[in-house]
């Protein structure tokens, strides 16, 4: 009897599903997409309704062959790829590649990999939803058109190898604009005033109801407190509550995993994917905050049994995004009784986070009692406020979140007079907008409606690998703050040094991001417009719902986009490179120009159009096109600097190159890493050069007449003939290897893989 064949996306998922379905079913994996637009060429016939030309991916020919064989020997075929648009497209491509009838082939989807969910899916199969397929096709084709036509423009005008994308370029723009906001921000100082009072039953710390703008006013205010009477004008006690957060969506999971564990969006999604495929959580790409009735019941039972009925508060959260297309339920554990899982530590931590958040969303709010004292000042219209808070009932805090320590105020009556012990006015500064972290960028994209759950992680990763953005630790700067203190009727002034502006793992744009964003914003305003990009996403949603024709949507977009590509050809390199004339060289009279070049920011002395070839110099560290000046530029033209000579009389020069500072002796380059090329001494340079010579001398352990050599490499000793390399096992002494043995090892070594530069058109 023939088995029934179920085709899923991943082998891990296949193993989990096969355990539930039993011997009557065979479960195989397609290993993701099997067909796509070939990498070379556009492969879209714009004139023929944007007809795409798909082909089986070269690395999937064997997979398709094996699946065809399995199809021929199966009684029924079930396409069970993921339930989002991408999964629907995979099912459609599989049907085409395996020559299955799209109108008859059974398509099943499930939000979780459990026996109950699988049995329900098998009882309610459907056919492939062509609307979902068309929504995915529209996204794929539109992004190919943008990338294919826009990237070559960037290669020609800015730098070879750059890429552009609808969501990618908008994300870079967000980071560039935020960095410019920070640079343009003018910080203003102000003073926060606090006071410590003594009452009949204890001490009270209170804050002034408003900040004071200047040092002089702060001094005057503290002095006026000397002759003031402080009266408690009101005591109010109010009950309050704190509600739990909804269960996770893709975006909020990425943000919280970043905040709590430092996971990147890509890392979080990789871990969540494995949790899903192992049957631990529901599908991890979702915009939805709703839970199924079964999940609500499971959570309620767990809460009542483990904490008591008073902790239960069954809640169905409404999804903010009405067009949420990715799923029908939030991310949650498949079984609330499983508080933890076994396995890899990172997966365990993420699972626990998902379990806690989903369970807490169904728990009662935390109850608090808030007390507020208003303290009037006889010599001022301002007043002090003291606030206290006591946790009365923990509610969802039993499972998720941090309970703050109670702030308890002593018993104080309305009308009570207080004695001032001390008051301070601490200087503070207004802060610029915060730089984006990976998590906060995802949050911003979601707020703007740009991208969808499946696109967040790859977008954040792509803008970094393409060199537009760097994730860095921002160093803080020391700042002197003034502190005014009123004690024993005397106002004193103190100073304290603090480090301000320090931050970790923030996204900072590179110079190429600045130049590219300005160019694209000028010539492709719509593509980089936030609202326009969000409207494109809305169009994909409408296509998925069958409310918009995908070909008409693409035609409307392309008819506006393509003319912009042609128009951008008029941009000059000088305009794009943001060339900035800093002044003239006092010695030669030639203009000194700062601009963006092939490898980033650079300095130029002389005009490109003149007969005499211009000189070039590296950009000084810490400067940008906005703050570079003539003096800083002229210093860089003093390179290469002659440091001195070697013992053999060879000249040693110091310079800065693409990969940092270096010294050079004849044709030998030596990296000087942390040394300053302007300050490195002759002794330091000679020592580094001698170390390099020693390294070169010790490179070859043995050299044979046949041309075979045994060499020391960065990853250990190896054998080479100049064309092919072979590793030497750790338990073999490379010095004992004979020429014959070396030749045999080299012969049996696998052939070197050909390097192919990856380019995204």
The confidence score (pLDDT) of residue 326 equals: 43
Q: Which of 282-286, 301-305, 371-375, 728-732 shows the lowest per-residue confidence on average (mean pLDDT)?
A: 728-732
pLDDT of 399 > 90? The answer is yes
Span 65-88, average pLDDT: 92
Distance of CA 681 to the CA centre of its chain: 42
Q: Which of 73-87, 131-145, 530-544, 664-678 shows the lowest per-residue confidence on average (mean pLDDT)?
A: 664-678
The confidence score (pLDDT) of residue 321 equals: 58
Q: Helix, strand, or coil here: 655? A: strand
In which band, very low, low, confident or very high, does the pLDDT at 389 lie, cut at 50, 70 and 90? very high
Q: Helix, strand, or coil here: 373? A: strand
The confidence score (pLDDT) of residue 405 equals: 83
The confidence score (pLDDT) of residue 600 equals: 76
In which band, very low, low, confident or very high, does the pLDDT at 754 lie, cut at 50, 70 and 90? low
The confidence score (pLDDT) of residue 330 equals: 94
Cα–Cα distance for residue pair 726/678, rounded to 1 Å: 42
Determine phi and psi for 628, rounding to 5 degrees: -70, 140
In which band, very low, low, confident or very high, does the pLDDT at 751 lie, cut at 50, 70 and 90? confident
Looking at the chain, the whole-number percentage of residues with pLDDT higher than 70 is 97
Helices 166-184 and 453-465: crossing angle, nearest 10°?
70
pLDDT of 323 > 60? The answer is no
In this predicted model, what pLDDT tens digit does every residue of 456-513 receive, in sequence order?
A: 999 999 999 988 999 999 888 899 999 999 999 999 999 999 998 888 999 999 888 9
The confidence score (pLDDT) of residue 475 equals: 86
What does the DSSP 8-state code read for residue 619? P
The confidence score (pLDDT) of residue 715 equals: 80
Q: Does domain 3-128 have CATH number 3.40.109.10?
A: no
Span 261-266, average pLDDT: 93
Cα–Cα distance for residue pair 594/600, rounded to 1 Å: 11
Cα–Cα distance for residue pair 348/342, rounded to 1 Å: 7
Q: What residue spans in the chain does CATH classification 3.40.50.140 cover?
A: 3-128
The confidence score (pLDDT) of residue 322 equals: 54
What does the DSSP 8-state code read for residue 407? B
Please count the helices (runs of H) and the strands (runs of E) in the chain. Answer: 20, 30
Helices 265-277 and 345-360: crossing angle, nearest 10°?
80
Which has the closest alpha carbon to 383: 562, 184, 233, 196? Answer: 233
The confidence score (pLDDT) of residue 155 equals: 86
In this predicted model, what pLDDT tens digit does every residue of 513-529 receive, in sequence order?
A: 988 999 999 899 888 89
Q: What residue spans in the chain does CATH classification 1.10.460.10 cover?
A: 140-185+434-568
Q: What is the pTM of this model?
A: 0.80
CA angle 709, 710, 712 (to 5 degrees): 125
Tell me if 700 sits within 8 A of 694, measured CB to CB: no
Which tokens hold the place of 150? 């826009």
Average pLDDT over the chain reads 90
Which has the closest alpha carbon to 331: 246, 408, 270? Answer: 246
Which tokens hold the place of 24? 């009557």
Question: What residues form DSSP beta bridges with 281?
Answer: 333
The confidence score (pLDDT) of residue 452 equals: 83
Q: Helix, strand, or coil here: 76? A: strand
Which tokens hold the place of 438? 């990976």
Q: Pairing between strand 189-199 and 366-377?
A: unpaired
Residues involved in catalysis: 283
In which band, very low, low, confident or very high, does the pLDDT at 354 lie, cut at 50, 70 and 90? very high
pLDDT of 722 > 50? The answer is yes
pLDDT of 761 > 60? The answer is no
**E-strand stretches of 430-502:** 469-474, 477-487, 490-500
The confidence score (pLDDT) of residue 134 equals: 96
Determine phi and psi for 379, rounding to 5 degrees: -100, 15
Q: What residue spans in the chain does CATH classification 2.70.20.10 cover?
A: 189-233+374-388+397-421
In this predicted model, what pLDDT tens digit does every residue of 415-432 receive, in sequence order?
A: 999 999 999 999 999 999
CA atoms within 13 A on the CB side of 331: 29
Span 376-389, average pLDDT: 95
The confidence score (pLDDT) of residue 325 equals: 43
Which tokens hold the place of 186? 């003018």
Cα–Cα distance for residue pair 211/329, rounded to 1 Å: 46
Q: Helix, strand, or coil here: 511? A: helix
Tell me if 166 sits within 8 A of 180, measured CB to CB: no
Which tokens hold the place of 633? 């530029």
Span 626-632, average pLDDT: 86
The confidence score (pLDDT) of residue 760 equals: 38
CATH of 250-360, one of 1.20.810.10, 3.40.50.720, 1.10.290.10, 3.50.50.60: 1.10.290.10
Cα–Cα distance for residue pair 67/91, rounded to 1 Å: 13
Q: Which of 52-56, 211-215, 748-752 shows the lowest per-residue confidence on average (mean pLDDT)?
A: 748-752
The confidence score (pLDDT) of residue 752 equals: 67
The confidence score (pLDDT) of residue 757 equals: 44
Q: What residue spans in the chain does CATH classification 1.10.290.10 cover?
A: 250-360
In which band, very low, low, confident or very high, does the pLDDT at 358 lie, cut at 50, 70 and 90? very high
In which band, very low, low, confident or very high, does the pLDDT at 580 lie, cut at 50, 70 and 90? confident
Element (H or E) spanning 268, and its range?
A: helix 265-277
- CATH class name, domain 140-185+434-568: mainly alpha
DSSP string for 340-396: ---S-HHHHHHHHHHHHHHHHTTBPPEEEEEEEEEEEETT-S-EEEEEEEEEEE-GG
- CATH class name, domain 189-233+374-388+397-421: mainly beta
Q: Which residue has the tokens 């798909």?
A: 54
The confidence score (pLDDT) of residue 753 equals: 61
């Amino acid at each position: 009897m023939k088995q029934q064949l179920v085709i899923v996306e991943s082998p891990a998922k296949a193993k989990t599903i096969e355990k539930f379905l039993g011997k009557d079913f065979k479960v195989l994996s397609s290993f993701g997409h099997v067909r796509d637009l070939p990498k070379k060429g556009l492969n879209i016939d714009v004139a023929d309704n944007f007809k795409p030309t798909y082909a089986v991916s070269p690395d999937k020919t064997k997979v398709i062959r094996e699946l065809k064989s399995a199809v021929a020997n199966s009684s029924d075929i079930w396409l069970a790829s993921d339930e989002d648009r991408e999964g629907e497209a995979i099912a459609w491509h599989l049907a085409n590649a395996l020559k299955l009838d799209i109108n008859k082939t059974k398509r099943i989807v499930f939000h979780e990999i459990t026996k109950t969910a699988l049995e329900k899916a098998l009882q309610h199969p459907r056919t492939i939803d062509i609307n979902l397929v068309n929504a995915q096709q529209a996204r794929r084709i539109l992004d190919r058109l943008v990338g294919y036509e826009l990237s070559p423009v960037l290669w020609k005008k800015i730098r070879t190898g750059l890429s552009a994308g609808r969501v990618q370029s908008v994300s870079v723009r967000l980071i560039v604009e935020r960095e410019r906001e920070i640079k343009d921000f003018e910080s203003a100082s102000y003073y926060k005033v606090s006071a410590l009072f003594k009452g009949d039953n204890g001490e009270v710390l209170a804050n002034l109801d408003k900040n004071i703008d200047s040092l002089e006013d702060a001094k005057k205010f503290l002095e006026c407190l000397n002759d003031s009477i402080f009266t408690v004008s009101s005591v109010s006690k109010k009950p309050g509550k704190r509600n739990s957060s909804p269960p996770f969506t893709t975006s909020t999971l990425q943000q919280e995993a970043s905040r709590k564990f430092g996971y990147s969006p890509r890392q979080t999604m990789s871990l969540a994917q494995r949790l899903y495929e192992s049957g631990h959580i529901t599908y991890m790409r979702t915009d939805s905050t709703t839970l199924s009735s079964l999940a609500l019941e499971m959570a309620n039972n767990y809460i009542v049994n483990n904490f008591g009925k008073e902790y239960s508060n069954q809640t169905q959260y409404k999804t903010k995004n009405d067009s949420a297309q990715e799923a029908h339920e939030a991310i949650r554990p498949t079984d609330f009784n499983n508080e933890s899982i076994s396995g890899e530590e990172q997966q365990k931590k993420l699972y626990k986070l998902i379990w806690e958040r989903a369970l807490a969303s169904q728990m009662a709010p935390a109850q608090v009692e808030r007390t507020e004292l208003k303290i009037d000042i006889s010599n001022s219209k301002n007043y002090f406020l003291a606030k206290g808070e006591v946790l009365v009932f923990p509610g969802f805090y039993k499972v998720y979140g941090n309970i703050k320590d109670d702030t308890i105020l002593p018993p104080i009556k309305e009308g009570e007079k207080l004695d001032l012990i001390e008051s301070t006015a601490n200087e503070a500064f207004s802060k610029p907008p915060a730089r984006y972290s990976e998590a906060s960028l995802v949050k911003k994209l979601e707020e703007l409606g740009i991208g969808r759950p499946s696109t967040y992680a790859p977008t954040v990763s792509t803008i970094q690998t393409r060199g537009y953005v760097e994730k860095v630790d921002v160093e803080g700067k020391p700042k002197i703050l003034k502190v005014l203190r009123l004690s024993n009727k005397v106002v004193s002034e103190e100073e304290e040094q603090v480090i301000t502006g320090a931050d970790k793992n923030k996204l900072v744009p590179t110079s190429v991001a600045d130049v590219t964003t300005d160019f694209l914003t000028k010539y492709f305003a719509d593509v980089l417009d936030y609202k326009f990009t969000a409207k494109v996403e809305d169009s994909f949603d409408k296509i998925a719902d069958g409310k918009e024709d995908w070909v008409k949507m693409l035609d409307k977009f392309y008819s506006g986009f393509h003319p912009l590509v042609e128009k951008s050809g008029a941009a000059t390199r000088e305009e794009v490179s943001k060339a900035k004339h800093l002044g003239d060289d006092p010695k030669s009279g030639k203009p000194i120009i700062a601009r963006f070049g092939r490898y980033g920011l650079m300095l130029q002395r002389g005009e490109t159009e003149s007969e005499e070839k211009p000189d070039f110099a590296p950009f000084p560290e810490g400067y940008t096109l906005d703050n570079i000046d003539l003096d800083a530029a002229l210093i860089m033209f003093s390179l290469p600097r002659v440091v001195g000579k070697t013992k053999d009389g060879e000249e040693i020069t110091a310079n800065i190159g693409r990969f940092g500072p270096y010294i050079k002796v004849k044709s030998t380059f030596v990296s000087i890493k942390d040394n300053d090329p302007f300050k490195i001494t002759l002794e330091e340079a000679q020592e580094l050069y001698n170390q390099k010579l020693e390294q070169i001398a010790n490179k070859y352990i043995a050299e044979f007449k046949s041309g075979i050599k045994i060499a020391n490499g960065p990853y250990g000793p190896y054998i080479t003939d100049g064309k092919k390399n072979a590793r030497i096992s750790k338990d073999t002494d490379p010095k004992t290897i004979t020429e014959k043995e070396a030749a045999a090892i080299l012969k049996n070594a696998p052939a070197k893989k050909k390097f192919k530069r990856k380019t995204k058109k």
